[in-house]
Amino acid sequence: MSYTITYKKNAVLQALRYHFIKQAEIKSLMIIVNIYAIVTAVLLFMKKIRPEPFLLGSLLWIILMVFFWYVLPNLFYKKTELLKQNWEFDFNETFARLTGSLGEASWDWATVTHYFESPEFFHFYFAPKSFFLIPKAEISIEDQHIIRGILKDK
């Protein structure tokens, strides 16, 4: 089955946010900052600490959210030419292929280590940090189910 896929910047940025937030080190960092903010809020409420530690935790939380939600996805998008091109996406039971003006890439489904779906994309991972996004809007519902089935079988 063959589809022409195009990327919309806003959709790609949202997909990149999902990717970054799902990373274990980012999740851990956000959990630690949230726990710190909660603990300092409780201690501030109990009048055990001054407001500065709580304000520091709040500032850290805001900085992290701005960085992971806006800065990092935009930097990644600007540096990645692959997400600005139109591609021809072909797949069958054994492999998938992308063909575009920048070249061609193909992979066996067995090389996909894991995948997940965001509202608008399939995220195919070949290593913890090596991934590719395929827009679901371009693919028929039936073929989306076929892709899910292939990936679950592998």
pLDDT the model gives residue 63: 94
pTM score of the predicted model: 0.84
Q: What is the CATH number of the domain that holds 90?
A: 2.30.29.30
- DSSP for 63-100, please give it: HHHHIIIIIHHHHHHHH-GGGGS-EEEEE-SSEEEEEE
Final residue belonging to a domain, choices 22, 51, 79? 79
Per-residue pLDDT, 128? 82
Domain end (from 32, 60, 79): 79
Q: CA-CA distances (angstroms) from residue 9 to 83, 89, 148?
A: 8, 19, 25
| Overall domain count for the chain | 2
Q: In whole angstroms, how far apart are CA 28 and each of 22, 82, 153?
A: 10, 29, 31
Per-residue confidence at 154, pLDDT binned at 50, 70, 90? confident
Domain residues for the domain of 149 are: 2-7+81-153
> Which stretch of DSSP H or E encloses residue 51?
helix 51-66
Q: Kindly state the average pLDDT of the residues 84-89.
A: 91
**What digits encode the pLDDT tens for the residues 32-81?**
988 998 999 999 999 999 999 889 888 988 999 999 999 999 999 999 98
Asked if 97 contacts 76 with a C-beta cutoff of 8 angstroms, the reply is no
Q: Are residues 26 and 72 in the same domain?
A: yes
Question: Quick one: 106 and 147 in the same domain?
Answer: yes
